[in-house]
Amino acid sequence: MIRAAAMGQRTKKRNRPNRTRKRLGRLPPTPEFLRFGGRFHQDILILHGTWEAATLDVVASFNGEDRKRLRDFIGTVLESDLSPDELKKLWDLTGSDWYLDGPGLRITLALAHDGLRKGLSRREARMLALDHLAIVAPTLAEGIAHVRESLDLDIPEGGRHREMGTRNHLLRLGEALFLEVIAVDPEAPAPDRPRWFGLDDAAAVRADWESGRRLRAFVARTNDLDGVLGRRPGLFGSALRMSRGALSWRFALRGDGALPMDGLLPCLMDWDAAGHPARAMPDLGARLRVFRLDHPDPEGAASLYREIGLIDPPEIREGPVFRYTAEIETPSGPRTLA
């Protein structure tokens, strides 16, 4: 069974509308607990069933590491006895929707990244969600070859970014997740501002590449980009309008084009009202299992991710060198990308 217990937080009383008899609409016939590196199916975690079945199924479906990820995600500890009062406490702590539907219990934790535009929670709207991983390559050809060698896949072409003078290829890794290979476009005119991902520093890009730090950065999305940037002036830069073909979005770029904290923190973006582009990408059967960070100070890195509100940070382990790796399931089996 489940109980939501506060993690060093004080529950504030709020006036909430009565949601106990709201119709849920159609739900999947069986619970779905997708465990791709702690990510959640279509960015929504759904726990449902009867009172007894829901509590037992939830605990049985998550191992210790998964429960830790969920605890970090919603700021609660899963223990025992999820009573109606505890459901209310969970709602107060997370801003999540909860329902009691008929004789059985059906809980929906509204932790939807894309769904936040519906105004579910101001707190959730400020959260940062993993959007895509970035291989920053000296040349596009080298980046494509690295993905082919690592994953045994030819990463499909993306397009050109006229504002940045760059070009990319994109590999779908899930419903709202993808891998990007990005490099300077030698055929494009130089932009009137520094390029993103630190690509103007060709020597540094080459040095990282030769040292094996090729999966160099990641990008997080938010539905409140202006608010996030306003609360952390200078850290992520300012929001600029970007485009690739008919696709348009906003991206936070530092004045020097460098990665935030040399890539330890994510670049930030907002897809606006458009749906996530990964859904329209060719699906080659690649899925992210684990996104991992090796760092000399794992506790410090974890603290930074908590401070900025990153809801699905990389798995962190201690290592002598700061670097990212990704474990990816492919049609030819599990592969590691670095």
Q: Is residue 297 a part of any domain in this protein?
A: yes
Strands 166-174 and 247-253: unpaired
- Domain final position from 60, 78, 111: 111
Whole-prediction pTM: 0.66
Domain co-membership, 157 together with 252? yes
Domain co-membership, 104 together with 139? no
Domain co-membership, 196 together with 310? yes
Tell me the residue type at 49: G
Q: For residue 31, give its domain range.
A: 4-111
Domain co-membership, 159 together with 99? no
- Domain final position from 52, 78, 111: 111
pLDDT of residue 224: 86
Distance CA 273, CA 148 (A): 33
Domain co-membership, 62 together with 21? yes
40-74 pLDDT per residue, tens:
332 233 333 222 223 323 333 334 454 444 444 44
Pure H helices in 21-157: 51-61, 64-74, 84-94, 122-125, 140-151
Per-residue burial over 31-64, b if 16 or more Cβ lie within 10 Å, else e, is bbbebbbbbbebbbbbbbbebeebbebbeeebee
CATH number for position 228:
3.10.180.10
pLDDT of residue 217: 99
- What are the backbone angles phi and psi of residue 298, rounded to the nearest 5°? -60, -35
Sheet holding 100-101, edge to edge: 45-48, 104-109, 100-101
Domain co-membership, 106 together with 137? no
Domain co-membership, 293 together with 267? yes
Domain co-membership, 61 together with 197? no
How many Å is the maximal CA-CA distance in the chain? 65
**Contact between 197 and 136 (Cβ < 8 Å):** yes
Q: Where are the beta strands (DSSP E) in 100-162?
A: 100-101, 104-109, 129-136, 157-161
Domain co-membership, 219 together with 173? yes
Q: Is residue 197 a part of any domain in this protein?
A: yes
pLDDT of residue 4 exceeding 60: no
Q: Is residue 295 a part of any domain in this protein?
A: yes
Domain co-membership, 174 together with 206? yes
Q: Is residue 190 a part of any domain in this protein?
A: yes
Structural domain total, the chain = 2
Q: Is residue 116 a part of any domain in this protein?
A: no
pLDDT of residue 291 exceeding 80: yes
End-to-end CA distance of the chain: 39
Domain co-membership, 26 together with 141? no
136-192 pLDDT per residue, tens:
999 999 999 999 999 999 999 999 999 999 999 999 999 889 999 999 999 999 999
Q: Is residue 270 a part of any domain in this protein?
A: yes
Domain co-membership, 209 together with 310? yes
The β-bridge partners of 244 are: 247
pLDDT of residue 245: 82
Q: Is residue 279 a part of any domain in this protein?
A: yes
- Residue reference for tokens 């908590």: 306
pLDDT of residue 231: 85
